[in-house]
Chain A
């Protein structure tokens, strides 16, 4: 497993390959790491032990989770392109843009392209019916890239939205602030109607943005015991990439979750 880690105590970033047992670290805090950036043996061993422990129990490097020992925050996987760049001695940023991290959920092979099939399976994993997932996969492909969505280029192709993701896919905190303030004022959760009102007031929302939020509502409703509310942590999870993983890991009433969370070799 290739995994991005951030030390909870020192905030140092590590890129770890648990299979090759290699560790690189951003000790100079320049926001990027290359293959030559090797930490000392003790530090490397510590990061490797935590990452290996994580790899034993997790199917993917899920952003927002912690290693089982609680020492490191997982900041997502390395894409194929990033792995190649690292191998070639190039720079790999320590943090992926929030939007890309969010979209990695739809790209299980991490090749930077979300195919129709991947898109469909991801929507199914979020609990949508076969028909609903097919419609969502088709429409998102029509709006964001046909036949496959290029993750690196999606920022430019996005239509008017909340503005919380900027053109580079990073989070614009100024845009997000009024939403969070509203959550705080309402005791941590808002009804779907209240969120739609907020959208109307604070964003140049279009039909796509509205449809995306309706999908979010459906995901949150299932997680919240069929209540029409969204919590602040779920709203934040939408932007840091953790909400979709949380939703896909929540089984349906038959006790089943997304099949692709189970690696083929581990199937019963």
Chain B
């Protein structure tokens, strides 16, 4: 640390110490802004010295700088103290804003860097996975046998299913082959057809995506490079495991700690574009395309409420998560001269940690481990390792720990203890609390009927049921709410119940697996049908993770009765404070009424563009989102479309965004083919406003969605061949059959009926109005028969 010598006070001058304090402040500024490698500790020491020389701090500048240094050191209390003192000396909007952020960060405890999830240790991941899971204690009570009917009936049913299945496959292929191919966007073909033909074309698209557009990173070996010849623990046939291992006969298929897979091109055709020339800075892309326009309100979706975004964030945590890097500052994003972060935080660059490399021996480049199970098993609630799962459980009846409406607190992290507690905010708190309560409610019902069952049997069966209820809600409610389009609504219902059931019966009367229903994934539904992973071990893909960056849907504030709470203040420990202060019912009520921000360009929440996370006082989530796709070998927008069999755009105007946005894209990426080919994926999908009717997001995202929304069900034995009363019990199947998001909410918070929930059939629609009053807020009412 170089500190200028402090000279002896010169006699006769007006303020003998001021020149030295100025020099120290200048030195501190220099230490704080050298392009990303700022030394805030040194700057703090220099400024503390300046403070001893210059007493009082007449203009508050030293205190302001000290507050800034402490802010960067994530010592919020000291930052607050100095910033408050600075403001007493002189008014400064930037000091005032920083003080507010320091106060929020102190309350939310956002600097706590204790990892809520255990490490992924290569030596452990290489061992036989049966060693990392605990066999449940089981009672002598045998699970019920499935009624199978006579051999003749089964044979007749098989022939019937096969014949109808072949006809359906033929129709899917024919309609897909005859699709319009010369349109830029594929939906211009399927969305203009009638519902049935449109559905068949979408089925053809899915068939194509499940062919050579699914890529395994474990070609030629078992998942996780596990050794052949392992014995499967018998109990894993009946229950899900904590780590997701042994869900199928491939020991680690879909398990936590295995590689995230690929959609589109195989790994050998991928490359990182981190150092590609001619690409705009991710920070600049974020500023111009993702960040909200100053002094303009953010766009909201008329037909969705805030529960929609909280729901999908919780679900995404169930499916896929890259481990955060323990090494900060690996990548510097230099700030432009006019970047407001320069003056606001006194920095010249943002530091972004790169994704941690795959720690496995002989790992290939551009492979990353999923720290949660890939399966749709509610691992965000139950954890992805045995230790976490055991810690979250309590009592002899298979229940999860909860006191009233309060989840247990993890003393180490200072936030709620749950299966997946990263990115914690009040929206996640609502979802986790609701489904922990629902798990316990399912346990009670199971216990009434299976008095001899062990705690483990109750727990594991309740988990199966609870996870299936979430899968059903996501499939037949969340997705139709976000994409209230006739074909998609019918398509999602087809995924769960099958086409025949969807055609014949209204929503609430549909049932899984009726006796004479053909066993075919289109006619009879994927759920309760035959399992198929299309020859590629199941796993979510990097492309899925990239297109599910839906941060634009996060609000800047939560509107509670009589007050508005900044979302930033509901993060970390702030979530629990919110639940304590307002209670679950009031929060759910507000989330149900408030509209979700739209998934469009320039609609990121402002707070996320300069947010604090553990170890990093200032990050821009938008810039990180852009950088991650480049880093992880996910191609840019046009190449991404090509690899999925979609046509590329030929000019920015094709996206359907405003002239102002097109100008911003041209400024960033340049005009012509070069600009089009450099367009980052998220920038493209955010600006993709030329969409099918009522689509909450664009076609490029939707294409990955078609592949993965089906595959999550289709590849999971517990949603296909095991989705029956032998594994789930009769009670469980009945609970899944009746469950809707609304029914789950009302079971635990019946007072929500009067609060507006009774206005809607689908609880992701705004509760404040009914379909009669505001049809534009309830488009599903015109499509779905309830």
Contact = CB atoms under 8 A, between A and B. Distances in A.
B379 to A, nearest CB: 19
A62 B238 contact: no
Contact of A253 (B128, B220, B231, B533): B533
Interface stretch (A4-12, A93-101, A152-160, A241-249): A241-249
B234 A266 contact: yes
A255 B128 contact: no
A223 B234 contact: no
B219 A224 contact: yes
Contact of B248 (A70, A226, A255): A255
Given A248-B228, A253-B535, A254-B532, A68 B127 contact: yes
B231 A65 contact: no
Given A57-B128, A266-B234, 20 more contacts: A59-B229, A65-B227, A65-B229, A68-B131, A223-B221, A225-B215, A225-B216, A231-B220, A233-B220, A249-B228, A251-B248, A255-B249, A255-B253, A255-B533, A255-B715, A261-B249, A262-B231, A266-B232, A268-B237, A268-B238
Interface residues of A, number: 38
B124 to A, nearest CB: 10
A188 B420 CA distance: 40
B263 to A, nearest CB: 13
Nearest to B268: A187
Contacts of A182: none
A169 B238 CA distance: 43
B546 interface: no
A71 interface: no
B78 to A, nearest CB: 49
Given A68-B127, A68-B131, A245 B229 contact: yes
Nearest to B714: A253
Interface in A169-226: 220, 222-226
A60 interface: yes
B116 to A, nearest CB: 28
B401 interface: no
A57 B230 contact: yes
13 contacts: A57-B230, A57-B231, A58-B231, A66-B227, A225-B535, A234-B220, A248-B229, A249-B222, A251-B249, A251-B253, A254-B531, A255-B249, A261-B232
Interface string B31-51: 000000000000000000000
B530 interface: yes
Given A246-B221, A253-B534, A59 B230 contact: yes
A225 B231 contact: no
A261 B229 contact: yes
Contacts of B220: 220, 223-224, 231, 233-234
Kindly name the residue among A233, A234, A257 whose own CB sees the greatest number of chain B CB atoms within 10 A: A257
A21 interface: no
A127 to B, nearest CB: 10
B735 interface: no
A68 B251 CA distance: 14
Interface string A15-44: 000000000000000000000000000000
Interface string A250-268: 1101111100011100111
A252 B227 CA distance: 17
B387 to A, nearest CB: 19
A251 B535 CA distance: 9
Contacts of A250: 222, 228, 250
Nearest to A233: B220
Interface of A: 56-60, 62, 65-66, 68, 70, 220, 222-227, 231, 233-234, 242, 245-246, 248-251, 253-257, 261-263, 266-268
Interface in B84-139: 126-128, 130-131
Kindly name the residue among B238, B248, B253, B534 whose own CB sees the greatest number of chain A CB atoms within 10 A: B248
B717 interface: yes
B536 interface: yes
Judged by DSSP, the binding face of A is loop
B234 A268 contact: yes
B230 A222 contact: no
B234 A62 contact: no
Kindly name the residue among B131, B227, B233 whose own CB sees the greatest number of chain A CB atoms within 10 A: B227
A251 B237 contact: no
Contacts of B247: 255
Contacts of A253: 531-535
Given A231-B220, A267-B234, A222 B535 contact: yes
A119 to B, nearest CB: 19
Contacts of A225: 215-216, 219, 535-536
B229 A255 contact: no
Contacts of B253: 251, 255
Contacts of A257: 249-250
Contact of B130 (A57, A254, A263): A57
Contacts of A245: 228-229
A15 B250 CA distance: 29
Nearest to B229: A62
Interface string B708-729: 0000000101000100000000
Interface string B526-542: 00001111111000000
Contacts of B229: 58-60, 62, 65, 245, 248-249, 261
Interface string B454-480: 000000000000000000000000000
B131 A57 contact: yes
B234 to A, nearest CB: 5
A253 B214 CA distance: 13
B142 to A, nearest CB: 11
Contacts of B234: 266-268
Kindly name the residue among A65, A224, A254, A261 whose own CB sees the greatest number of chain B CB atoms within 10 A: A254
Contacts of A268: 234-235, 237-238
Contacts of B219: 223-225, 227
Nearest to B227: A65
Nearest to B532: A253
A226 B231 contact: no
Nearest to B721: A254
B127 A226 contact: no
Given A224-B220, A225-B536, A268-B238, A262 B232 contact: yes
B238 A249 contact: no
